[in-house]
Amino acid sequence: MATFVDRVVLQVAGGSGGHGAASIRREKFKPLAGPDGANGGRGGDVILEVNSSTTTLLAYHHRPHQRATGGGFGKGDMRHGARGEDLVLPVPDGTVVLDEDGTVLVDMIGIGTRFVAARGGSGGLGNAALASTQRKAPGFALLGEEGQERDLVLELKTVADVALVGFPSAGKSSLIAAMSAARPKIADYPFTTLVPNLGVVEADQFRYTVADVPGLIPGASQGKGLGLEFLRHIERCHVLVHVLDAAALESDRDPLSDLETIENELAIYADSLDEEAETRVPLMERPTVIVLNKTDLPDGTEMADMVRERLADRDVPVLDVSAISHKGLRELSFVLGELVDQARAALPEPEPAPIVLTPKAVDDKGFRVVTEQYDGGTAFRVQGDKPERWVRQTDFTNDEAVGYLADRLAKLGVEDQLYKAGAVPGSTVLIGPGDDAVVFDWEPTMVGGAELLLGRRGTDKRLEDTHRPTRDEKRADQRARTEARMNRIAAMDAERRSGHWADPASDDEAR
């Protein structure tokens, strides 16, 4: 059973927002005292957080689906729904988060670093929040939104100062066990180490971490052995240590050929690193130390003497050590400590992320109308954050809620854009992306005085009359109305005197 996983595909989903409530308050002697439906609660977020006690992604290998809790529903008497709890997922230090396309979203370094992987949906408004002077007692509420859902790729790149690289059975695990408190599995057969091991080395004023990278073989950069799976763990190191087996049992191997093979694999892998990784010191230009291990054995001592002069031409420290007898380990710990301190001092000062302001364009309406083919005919798709969100919040089983949506779309200017795009009453309109769009036959909103509309929609001859009557014109109009009223009274009096009584109701109908 696996105990270490450094790459997983994680499917995360934020909690859904709670629906708003449609309720009317009832009081004594006042059965309809106004709306009191409360809002639904917001759904919880899914958050990744770097945790010092987490060293593997194994938990998400077994449970790749993670969802936060949803928000509570709103209730009457202004009782708002509870907010959903955030789901905090611990990840190891050095975890890189990528989207489905391989784009790096965040590089999580440092204990306590957080990243919101999926946001919870907003809660729906209750009818109390929807009340206005025009709509005093709404008989509907808005629905809560679904939480964000997406697939993320998590890759663990070990955060270590020193990386031990070399062939299988070169003694890397024995070396890290001798220099630190780490206790990796050690045996006398190749590929004993199947996972990277971390150890902390303390030497006087120096303190740094060492990573034991599982054994590399020729072709590791193309996927052979375990190399390609674990080469990513050396990307962040400051110092490379080549551990060479000076007492190799194979007749076709020697420290020099081993060193050339490993350097070739590292060079191929370094060329494949992305630009972000190359903002650090290039992998092949980082400080290097060559360690001739197993020099406590006679064969190891002889081999070290043979290759030491040829290795001296590389102008890098070459040390004879023995993980068993602890020969040369103290000197090695100080050499590595000095190189790590120099590399840390050369690191650039961290710069705060620039604040990017993206103002809204002057002509940005917040949506757009595109024409496309749908069921063999022409359809008009409305795309935009606001229209799509409003559709998701609408309860289409409630006619009043549908009318409220129509009013919001008309106020936003969707109808005008549909007319400009060539839509006519009865045209197919879609709101939303892909197959999740809401489809309906469009009927324009009717306004009072529509019979006076001339030409294109929005023109009204009543709006073209800008004449304001003068005071004399107002007085003349008042005298005319008074004279007409007196004439009607005189006619009614004459009819009364002549004995003819008119029924006002029938008279009005005759007129």
Binding residues: 166-173, 191-195, 212-215, 293-296, 322-324
Name the region of 498 (left: φ>0; alpha: ψ -120 to 50; beta: rest): alpha
Measured CA to CA, the distance from residue 45 to residue 117 in angstroms comes to: 8
> Which residues participate in the annotated binding site for GTP?
166-173, 191-195, 212-215, 293-296, 322-324
Which DSSP letter does residue 4 get?
Answer: -
Dig out the tokens for 94 from the structure: 């050095």
Long-range contacts of 257-264 (CB under 8 A, 24+ apart): 258/166, 258/167, 258/170, 259/290, 259/311, 261/167, 261/218, 262/165, 262/166, 262/167, 262/216
What angle do helix axes 172-179 and 329-346 make, rounded to 10 degrees?
A: 90
Give Cβ neighbours of residue 265 (< 8 Å, ≥ 6 apart). Answer: 216, 218, 219, 220, 221, 227, 231
- Contact criterion met (CB below 8 Å) for 328 and 178: no
Dig out the tokens for 295 from the structure: 């020099």
Place of tokens 């993206």: 358
Measured CA to CA, the distance from residue 291 to residue 456 in angstroms comes to: 85
Maximum alpha-carbon separation in the chain: 149
- For the chain, the C-alpha Rg in angstroms (whole number) is 39
Give Cβ neighbours of residue 144 (< 8 Å, ≥ 6 apart). Answer: 16, 17, 18, 19, 20, 40, 43, 70, 71, 73, 121, 122, 123, 124, 393
> Which residues participate in the annotated binding site for Mg(2+)?
173, 193
